[in-house]
Chain A
Amino acid sequence: NAGVTQTPKFRVLKTGQSMTLLCAQDMNHEYMYWYRQDPGMGLRLIHYSVGEGTTAKGEVPDGYNVSRLKKQNFLLGLESAAPSQTSVYFCASSSTPTGGYGYTFGSGTRLTVV
């Protein structure tokens, strides 16, 4: 069972470069989320999706864009990376709003912007 798969696992970017993080889930979940984790800050929601073709802003959306063209995939884009976007990014999915059984998390992407 693959669950939630994130690619890449690690990436180093230069300031101003762009990149896309991919999240894929094979559980037929409707709801998908992108969080960032920073020391001492817990997890903060960037964007989320309640179904194919939908996206919504979370707590810290600035500097990021997302797309959910297919139900199983949720892409997070950084158009012009900044050092403040150095973080660990987690994707999660759930079958119900807020997850009656909790979220299923991916393994994370560690991004460093220099």
Chain B
Amino acid sequence: ELKVEQNPLFLSMQEGKNYTIYCNYSTTSDRLYWYRQDPGKSLESLFVLLSNGAVKQEGRLMASLDTKARLSTLHITAAVHDLSATYFCAVDLSGGSNYKLTFGKGTLLTVNP
């Protein structure tokens, strides 16, 4: 079965702490995407990872991709309240031939003061 699994699905953390969200996927893919969604809003593109070993950083967020392990991580450094949102990873599980992304179920991140 082609699937994308995120964990944890719920994450409550204190400001200033570090944490990692994991995204595993079931078949070979060399590109992976991270999105952010605020409550009641649309999805905003955060990172596009297009090759094995790719690492992207933006502010307190850093994403990486290990295609051999079929794993991407989204690392949060020194969390702040503004990072509270739902984070989705998405993968093309078709090998690039079917033109569509499969999304994980999302990780609801709550950063508490």
A-B contact pairs, 24 of them (CB 8 A): A40-B105, A42-B88, A42-B103, A43-B88, A43-B103, A45-B100, A45-B102, A48-B99, A58-B100, A97-B96, A97-B99, A98-B31, A98-B92, A98-B100, A99-B101, A100-B48, A101-B48, A102-B35, A102-B48, A103-B43, A103-B45, A104-B45, A107-B41, A108-B41
Would you call A41 an interface residue if the criterion is a C-beta within 8 Å of the partner chain's C-beta atoms?
yes
Contact residues of A between 51 and 107, Cβ < 8 Å to B: 58-59, 90, 92, 97-107
Shortest distance from the beta carbon of A40 to any chain B beta carbon, whole Å: 6
Binding site for B on A (CB under 8 A): 31, 33, 35, 40-45, 48, 50, 58-59, 90, 92, 97-108
Contacts A41-B105, A98-B31; is A106 near B42 (CB within 8 Å)? yes
Among B43, B99, B100, B105, which residue has its beta carbon within 8 angstroms of that of A105?
A: B43
Chain A CB count within 10 A is highest, among B41, B50, B106, for B106
Shortest distance from the beta carbon of A44 to any chain B beta carbon, whole Å: 8
For the complex, count residues of B whose C-beta is within 8 A of A: 23
Residues in B with CB closer than 8 Å to A97 are 92, 96, 99
Residues in A with CB closer than 8 Å to B103 are 35, 42-44
Would you call B33 an interface residue if the criterion is a C-beta within 8 Å of the partner chain's C-beta atoms?
yes
Shortest distance from the beta carbon of B64 to any chain A beta carbon, whole Å: 17
Residue of A with least CB distance to B92: A98
Is the beta-carbon distance between A98 and B105 smaller than 8 angstroms? no
A55 to B40, CA, bound (A): 28
Among A41, A48, A101, which residue has its beta carbon within 8 angstroms of that of B100?
A: A48
Residues in B with CB closer than 8 Å to A100 are 31, 48, 50
Is the beta-carbon distance between A98 and B96 smaller than 8 angstroms? yes
Residues in B with CB closer than 8 Å to A107 are 41-42
Is the beta-carbon distance between A90 and B42 smaller than 8 angstroms? yes
Residues in A with CB closer than 8 Å to B106 are 42
Residue of A with least CB distance to B45: A102
Shortest distance from the beta carbon of B12 to any chain A beta carbon, whole Å: 17
The 9 A-B residue pairs with the shortest CB-CB distance, nearest first, are: A102-B45, A42-B105, A97-B99, A98-B92, A43-B103, A42-B103, A105-B43, A105-B42, A107-B42
